[in-house]
Amino acid sequence: MAMVTVTALSAWSMSVSASQPASAPPATTAQATATAPATSTATTTTAATSEAKRAVKFCNERLSGISGPYDEAGLKAACEAAQTMSGCDSEMGEPIIHFEKIGTDKNHGKKILSISLIHGDERPSGAVNRAWLTRLGQIDPRNTWRVLPIVNPDGMSANTRYNSHKVDLNRNFPSKDWQRSAIAYWKTSTRSDARRYPGEAAASESETRCVMKHIVDFKPDFIISIHTPLGVLDFDGPSVANPGFKPLPWVGLGNFPGSLGRFMWMDQKVPVLTIELKGNDGIKRLEDFDKLQDIAGTVAIQAGRVLQKEKKK
């Protein structure tokens, strides 16, 4: 799947092409631009430039508007590397931006996809990915990260859990049981809670399809989905040790038809770590965000080892 790389020269953002062997050194954006087919025209360059500007502007405006601690200069620098993938606009036409950083471990480590604000009224979840993408611009991580800080920009604007079609995007993924169970579960178990409506059909929403595009393009080994307000680390994955992040206990809450956990872990055996921040306060100190990111990276590595062993059995 072609990814529209809209960043200019930036050491920060290096794209892993889906077709690239895992062991090959990653091509920098600059190289990718240099080797782009000669069919690019002035028109597409202009379009790409305005698209890049739109992504950078959106990044700065939206991410700086979330409360909580952050490194202002670091975020500004990181936003320069904001990217968009074609087809990744919200239903109301806002960009769904992403960031990528290649890991330094053997084969670039585990590929970790981290998403937040899939529920538009859970603003502190965006503060976590804001801290992480800012930090990724400044460190050489073990693992390869792709970060989507605002999956539901329209819901964020309206301060609603659902998107502009009133669909709960985290019930809209095409899990194998969607057809059979999503609507039935919504009617019986949630008593048709408007905040949890799974949509008229699986993957009916552009925001859902954007996340799916990233999954196909990036092929994550591990997914992190950040929410509020339950105050737990909820893991859908193989049995791994409790990483011991004090502010948030380690639990298994289970998952729902059409949720990312059911779609990726139950159906496709890609572990999903759901970070549920406590209340609407989020995390107060930047170093706690750092710690949480490192813990998540370690869980990704451990889960990868367990899955590898299970495969060999």
3-state helix, strand, coil in the chain (%, to 5): 40, 15, 45
For Zn ion, which is the closer residue by CB, 12 or 235? 235
For Zn ion, which is the closer residue by CB, 143 or 152? 152
- CA trace torsion 260, 303, 16, 219 (10° rounding): -40
CA dist 135 and 149 (Å) reads 13
For Zn ion, which is the closer residue by CB, 162 or 289? 162
For Zn ion, which is the closer residue by CB, 122 or 234? 122
CA dist 24 and 22 (Å) reads 6
For Zn ion, which is the closer residue by CB, 46 or 280? 280
Closest distance of CB 227 from Zn ion, Å:
3
Closest CA to 143 of 284, 298, 29: 298
Each residue 62-101 as x (binds Zn ion by CB under 5 A) or -, in order, gives: ----------------------------------------
Read off the tokens for 305: 């080892």
Q: How far is CA 8 from CA 48, 79, 188, in A?
A: 10, 12, 50
Q: Which helix or strand (DSSP H or E) is residue 144 part of? A: strand 144-148
CA dist 293 and 289 (Å) reads 6
For Zn ion, which is the closer residue by CB, 126 or 243? 126
Closest distance of CB 159 from Zn ion, Å:
13
From 66-74, 117-125, 198-206, 210-218, give the range in contact with Zn ion by CB under 5 A: 117-125
Nearest residue (beta carbon) to Zn ion: 227
Closest distance of CB 289 from Zn ion, Å:
18
Site residues for Zn ion, 120-179, by CB under 5 A, read 122
Site residues for Zn ion, 223-282, by CB under 5 A, read 227
Closest distance of CB 253 from Zn ion, Å:
12
Q: Is there binding between residue 196 and Zn ion (CB under 5 A)? A: no
Contacts of 37 (CB under 8 A, 6+ apart): none
Which member of 62, 98, 108, 119 binds Zn ion (CB under 5 A)? 119
Contacts with Zn ion by CB under 5 A: the residue count is: 3
For Zn ion, which is the closer residue by CB, 168 or 217? 168
CA dist 293 and 287 (Å) reads 10
Closest distance of CB 40 from Zn ion, Å:
40
Closest distance of CB 168 from Zn ion, Å:
9
Closest distance of CB 262 from Zn ion, Å:
15
Give 287: exposed, middle or buried? Use CB within 10 Å, 0-12, 13-18, 19+: exposed
Angle ∠(39,43,44) on CA atoms, nearest 5: 60
Contact residues: Zn ion, CB under 5 A: 119, 122, 227
